[in-house]
Structure 1
Amino acid sequence: MIFTLLQVVMPVFLVIGGGFLAARFTILSRESFDAVMRFVQQIAIPSLLFRAVSTLDLAAVFDWRLLASFYIAATTSFVLGIIGARLFFARRPGEAVAIGFAALFSNSVLLGLPIMERAFGADALAPNFAIIAIHAPFCYLLGISVMEVSRADGRGAVQTLSAIGNAIIRNAITVALALGLVVNLTGLPLWAPITEALDMLARAALPGALFALGGILIRYKLSANLAEAGMITALSLVLHPALAYLLAGPVFDLPIGYIRSAVVTAAMAPGINAFIFANMYDRAKDTVASGVLLATGVSILSASAWLWLIG
């Protein structure tokens, strides 16, 4: 059973490892990985998500119980991350929020989608897309709001709302999701060559993202903040999916496909967005980078464990 589960998740991490080795031995330059990641985040993944949301059966997959299961669990991890950073590591408020954000923001696209697809097939991804549709807006809205309130040098209400709005509308993934939703709701027909071109770009999204992620992870180091990175890892890989499982299953009694999507998405390591958020505010960057690196490595085993648990 363990070997079978590792066969599901290992190809994903082997592609990440390929990117890591290509960076380690300078087969590709730092600038090359940056360019690939920009292509993935600004073009390929938005194309994938636009096509997915534009063709989703919204009535079927947008179940409030699914979203509540995932986001109540995510918010709980965020709050506990902040409390843990403050109480156990004596972090300043802004630093604590950055650490909590790392526990909040699962790598729902770069890791969640390929692992879910390999484990349960492409047809099982619809609930994942429902979660992803509001993932970036929800997490950035929550994270930026709490950060702006907590900072001693925080801005006023108008500036805070402006910062939140800019962070959301300048995110290519958020824009693609919004446009896909518009096409879905209006039934706007798209010219066949356009959809075929978008599908070609979408096919490059996941392998390109995994390879670029490996090349970028080499820049991070497990610094002296290993205990804090361990807390981020425990919240991201254990608490978040455990709460999502309890809410989606025993509490809300969702169908198994929805439970799988909620748990697999919740069980993913923090993504690059966690470091982007810390870098944006210049708060706890080393700790968040260490958390991303440690959690991504540990998730090889933890993802297998969660896949075993949910069948």
Structure 2
Amino acid sequence: MNPAPCFEMVCDMNAFLGAIIDGILYSAWLFIIAVGLTLIYGVMKILNMAHGTFYAIGAYMSVTLLGWWFAQGLPPAGSIPVMIVAALIAGTIVGLVVERGVLRFFTGRDPIVLLLVTYALFLILEDVVKLIWGVDPWIASDPVWTFGNVYLGPLVYPTYNLIIVVVAIVSGGFLTWFLQFTAKGKMLRAVIHDPEVSQAMGINVSRWKVSAFVAGSILAALGGAFTAPTISVAPGMGVEVVVMMFAAVVIGGLGSIPGTIVGALIVGFVRSLAVHYWPEVEVFSIYAVMAIVLAMRPQGLFSGVELRKI
């Protein structure tokens, strides 16, 4: 009996299992970043081009605090709270500065104007990052090795990757709970659906817009903070996530959290399968899926038709 066919079958199964696991891990990472963009658009109707830079600032803040943490000889397990704190600091500061310092002056302007403004902010913040942290790469990989490895069948992954999945699940679960089952969440949903009526009912719409923008910024920074230990943090890293982030949001439907979950999963699995089986078309495959979805449903999978007020 020739064992070669059986061996090839096992290898093919392992490769497919690896593609599925990589797709899940990538989708979780992408969701953390993209859901912040979804929240901002849902409340403010701003397609924030600077969102990728918020992600980068969170990563830089994370490696900065992690470097200090490990330099003090503090427990490695404490690196997780440190990254959360880094995201809170970075997201809050950049969110408040951008919204209060710039975007509030463009309230009610044409969406194209807001898109151009956020693109200008993206370019400005990219240079600000270089001025603060320089152009050399920063590395803080200690958290990845701290938690060891986990065996998923025949494959070995850093346990840290599963922590990112947990962060994505907790972030999505918390947002869903807040919006669906709390009084303040219902107020925010009212602002999303009809800000004018909400204002007439006594809801401080401006305050909710600021809060939503800061929350979305924190989520972008959270994605960067937890990504930082797995990569070399360098200028331009925010640009790299923009395509995938917007693809997930557009496929799922602008302003829809369930849509963002599905969009992130679609992008994650398509990219993973392309990387494993046809790496030459990795980026093209994302554009192709996005084009197919928009051709059949221009508003995205989970977004209703937006009514225009006359």
Q: TM-score, normalised by structure 1?
A: 0.29
> Which structure has the highest helix share of the two?
1
Q: TM-score, normalised by structure 2?
A: 0.29
